[in-house]
Amino acid sequence: MKELWTTVASVMGVWAFSQTLFIAVFPPELRFAFIKLFQRLFNGFSSYCYYDITEIEGVNTNELYNAVQLYLSSSAASSCSAISSNRLSLTRGLNSSAITFGLAHNDRLTDVFNGVSVVWEHIVTPRQSQTFSWRPLPEEKRGFTLRVNKRDKPYILESYLDFINGKANEIRRKNEDRLLYTNSRGGSLDSRGQPWESVPFKHPSTFDTLAMDPVKKAEIMSDLRDFADGQAFYTRTGRAWKRGYLLYGPPGTGKSSMIAAMANFLGYDIYDLELTEVQTNLELRKLLMKTSSKSIIVIEDIDCSINLTNRKDTNVGVDRSSSTFADGGPDTRYAPADNETGGNNSITLSGLLNFTDGLWSCCGSERIFVFTTNHIEKLDPALLRSGRMDMHVFMSYCSFPSLKILLKNYLGCTPDDVETEVLQRLEEVTDAAEMTPADISEVLIKNRRDNKKALRELLEALRVRAEKNRSGLRRFEADVEEMAEEEEKRTLESPKEGGDAAGGGCCVEKERWKGVRG
Ligand SMILES: Nc1ncnc2c1ncn2[C@@H]1O[C@H](COP(=O)(O)OP(=O)(O)OP(=O)(O)O)[C@@H](O)[C@H]1O
Ligand SMILES: [Mg+2]
């Protein structure tokens, strides 16, 4: 035993002595060249490639390091057996309610990608001297080393790193709590010069809970997914990475719920833009510049927020008296500026269109604009033109497929849990009743402790409403018929006065009635 210790001590002594000699005799340049040569020799014999991904590159944070860390956090949590020790670090980020796992210092993890095995090592070493920098650097140097077999490198390296980036983005979005921003302070800035105020966004609406036609829902979800994964597409086609949705329909059909579901689905923040708080186009532009990417910019009830005829006044010469305001009379605050195209003295439709469409809309990327309205017929055609709002989504009264989603949400019952006869009767009356999902939710919430009672009351409410609609329609049709007969009589008495007035009147009336019913 003593001999063994003596041997170890002498080997260590020789090693220390040769190191000292090496440092003392050779100048640093030669030492460096020697080490490089040694490494090259070693690499020539080794069957592996090594890639270092350091936390800080120069003075900048290395995004790839963060991505790898996040990616490994999910791998580490799901594949503890692959780790060389049982230790994991736990972290919780700012604005996050989720805990993430990470590789502890100097630990290793084996990952498999496309059937190829690679090894990650997390290396932490103390930083030797604080080099000059505008911002203090951490005391430790952190980095990951990726070990890949040389023969696998050409096949996987690039796609593996892309995959890691994609996964990291996904995790980031899932972990971070959404934020809901508002500009309700009337243009004033906060202490950090920000025009937006934010609160954590905790709306529970998801596409699962949203009651709407399943085909339309699937279409919207796939559109959103394509948008979020579409960076390469938008770059290739030279388009700004943004998308516009116009949600329209009667009150209580789920337009706001849909926006929340979109944000939860994509993991985006929401900027709820209160247009009535914005005084000028310039202010609008500043607000836009202060939004972040991966966000949904919402303008609710757009027909009530801004006088959307003002563009017509100057550009296409439509009568200014045709107000779009539901409560009559244009808001003089939004009267078009004398210099409409300059547009800096007040907020105008062209200012708004520049906001969504013009050059300024591209400062930042991956943003979705959502406008909602109860009265699509009141919107300026400029806003509806194809390419401006990419998708027009009509949120309609509750249909039978939507009703089934609401029954599941509120009563926890599937169609199999409901008696066949009740289900049939519900199906018969749902469309004719033209009740909004909000109305139906009310009935279900009130009776949610007693499913049978809830279904009974719902059926009754739908039946009463359907009957009311039918008798309203009958009465209306009788009125129209009567009017048509009178018109015909008058035409016969004085044949010179226009012949198609009655038919035209009927159509207009019918259209008007349809409009009133939404
Ligand atoms: N399609 C729907 N799916 C699920 N719940 C809905 C739906 N529509 C309405 N609701 C329920 O009704 C409430 C009101 O809906 P929401 O605010 O989304 O309607 P809206 O279309 O935005 O109405 P408004 O035009 O008045 O703004 C929601 O909190 C939700 O509970
Ligand atoms: Mg709403």
Over residues 211-222, the pLDDT tens digits come to 999 999 999 999
Say yes or no to pLDDT of 131 above 90. no
Q: Provide the b/e sequence for 185-205 (b: ≥16 CB within 10 Å).
A: eeeeeeeeeebbebeebeeeb
Could you say which DSSP state residue 177 is in?
Answer: P
Of the pLDDT bands very low, low, confident and very high (cuts 50, 70, 90), residue 139 is low
Task: Name which residue sits closest to atom 8 of ligand 1, judged by CA.
Answer: 254
Quickly count: other Cβ atoms within 10 Å of residue 283's Cβ: 18
Average pLDDT for residues 428-450, to the nearest whole number?
94
Ligand 1 centre to CA of 25 (Å) is 80
Q: Whose CA is closest to 88, among 99, 146, 96, 97?
A: 99
- In whole angstroms, what is the distance from residue 241 CA to residue 234 CA? 6
Instruction: Report the percentage of the chain scoring pLDDT > 90.
Output: 31
Ligand 1 centre to CA of 258 (Å) is 8
- In whole angstroms, what is the distance from residue 85 CA to residue 104 CA? 9
Laid out side by side, the sheet with 116-126 consists of 48-54, 140-149, 116-126, 108-113
Of the pLDDT bands very low, low, confident and very high (cuts 50, 70, 90), residue 260 is very high
Ligand 1 centre to CA of 87 (Å) is 47
Burial of 428 (0-12, 13-18, 19+ CB in 10 A): middle
Q: 441 CB under 6 A from ligand 1? A: yes
Say yes or no to pLDDT of 76 above 70. no
Substitution candidate for ligand 1 out of 256, 376, 406 with most atoms within 8 A of CB: 256
Q: Which atom of ligand 1 is nearest to the CA of 260?
A: 18
pLDDT of residue 338: 40
Could you say which DSSP state residue 132 is in?
Answer: -
According to DSSP, the β-strands at 242-248 and 140-149 are unpaired
Are 321 and 310 within 8 A, CB to CB?
no
Which residue has better confidence, 71 or 92? Answer: 71
pLDDT of residue 21: 66
Q: Is 423 helix (H, G, I), strand (E, B) or coil?
A: helix
Ligand 2 centre to CA of 256 (Å) is 4
Task: Name which residue sits closest to atom 14 of ligand 1, judged by CA.
Answer: 252
pLDDT of residue 19: 67
Q: 251 CB under 6 A from ligand 1? A: yes
Q: What is the mean pLDDT of the chain?
A: 77
Ligand 1 centre to CA of 473 (Å) is 26
Candidate CATH numbers 3.90.1170.50, 3.40.50.1000, 3.40.50.300, 3.90.600.10; the one for domain 179-394: 3.40.50.300
Say yes or no to pLDDT of 258 above 90. yes
- Sign for the pseudo-dihedral over CA of 489, 492, 495, 499: positive
Could you say which DSSP state residue 292 is in?
Answer: P
Q: Which of 87-96, 105-114, 331-340 has the highest mean pLDDT?
A: 105-114
Which residue has better confidence, 105 or 456? Answer: 456
pLDDT of residue 82: 46
The pTM of the full predicted model, rounded to 2 decimals, is: 0.64
Q: 257 CB under 6 A from ligand 1? A: yes
Q: Which amino acid is at 238?
A: G
Task: Name which residue sits closest to atom 12 of ligand 1, judged by CA.
Answer: 438
pLDDT in tens, 171-210: 777 777 778 999 876 666 665 567 888 888 889 999 999 9
Substitution candidate for ligand 1 out of 213, 253, 259, 405 with most atoms within 8 A of CB: 253
| Helix or strand (DSSP H, E) at 496 | none
Ligand 1 centre to CA of 417 (Å) is 25
Q: Is 169 helix (H, G, I), strand (E, B) or coil?
A: helix
Laid out side by side, the sheet with 269-272 consists of 197-201, 178-182, 269-272, 295-299, 367-373, 242-248, 391-394
The residues spanned by each domain of the chain are 1-46, 47-175, 179-394, 400-516
Q: CA angle, corner 105, sides to 103 and 110, nearest 5?
A: 45
pLDDT of residue 59: 64
Q: 396 CB under 6 A from ligand 1? A: no
Ligand 2 centre to CA of 204 (Å) is 15
Burial of 515 (0-12, 13-18, 19+ CB in 10 A): exposed
